[in-house]
């Protein structure tokens, strides 16, 4: 019998996640998804597929959103055997859209099928935000970023 995959969504908190200033090529790593098993902001299984990545930002910058299996990421390791990269999504500054030429910048990739699993935090996703722009990402309220991930259990 075929079982329909269960959908899930995880959304970062602008006041908690990705709040630091980022120079060009700098990384801010966060673990998204609540640690509480009953939370709705949690991947319901260790193995999932990420289907959509949405980024909402105060600044119109070029971004990479990277997914890692663990929090032990570069530059903490230079050993290729230990590198935990799963996949990344690239957003260019020209991809940023606004409504009525005002407000926040919106970026999205849909139709993805990124197999994801974590080796150290079941039910959570290790997400890195990298500023690929020549302009620095501001800290705090001036540089707010939200990343929302949607997927299905595998």
Give the model confidence (pLDDT) of 15-49 as tens digits. 999 999 999 999 999 999 865 444 555 565 567 89
Of 26-40, 84-98, 117-131, where does mean pLDDT reach its minimum? Answer: 26-40
Other beta carbons within 10 Å of 52: 15
Specify the 3-state DSSP secondary structure of 6.
coil
Highest mean pLDDT among 45-49, 70-74, 114-118: 114-118
CA–CA dist 8, 116 (Å, integer): 13
- Arithmetic mean of pLDDT, 88-109: 94
- Arithmetic mean of pLDDT, 131-136: 98
The verdict on whether omega for the bond into residue 75 sits within 30 degrees of 0, i.e. cis, is: yes
Dig out the tokens for 152 from the structure.
């299905």
The vertex-33 CA angle with 29 and 34, nearest 5°, equals 120
CA–CA dist 58, 115 (Å, integer): 29
């Amino acid at each position: 019998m075929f079982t329909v995959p269960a959908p899930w969504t995880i959304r970062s908190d602008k006041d908690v996640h990705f709040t630091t200033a980022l120079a060009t090529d700098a990384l801010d790593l966060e673990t998204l998804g609540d640690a509480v098993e009953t939370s709705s902001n949690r991947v319901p299984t260790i193995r999932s597929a990420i289907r959509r990545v949405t980024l909402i930002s105060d600044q119109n910058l070029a971004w990479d959103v990277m997914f890692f299996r663990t929090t032990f990421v570069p530059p903490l390791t230079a050993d290729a055997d230990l590198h935990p990269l799963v996949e990344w999504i690239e957003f260019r500054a020209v991809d940023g859209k606004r409504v009525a030429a005002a407000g926040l910048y919106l970026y999205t990739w849909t139709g993805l099928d990124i197999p994801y699993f974590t080796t150290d935090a079941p039910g959570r996703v290790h997400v890195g935000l990298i500023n690929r722009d020549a302009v620095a990402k501001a800290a705090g309220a001036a540089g707010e970023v939200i990343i929302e991930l949607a997927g299905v259990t595998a």
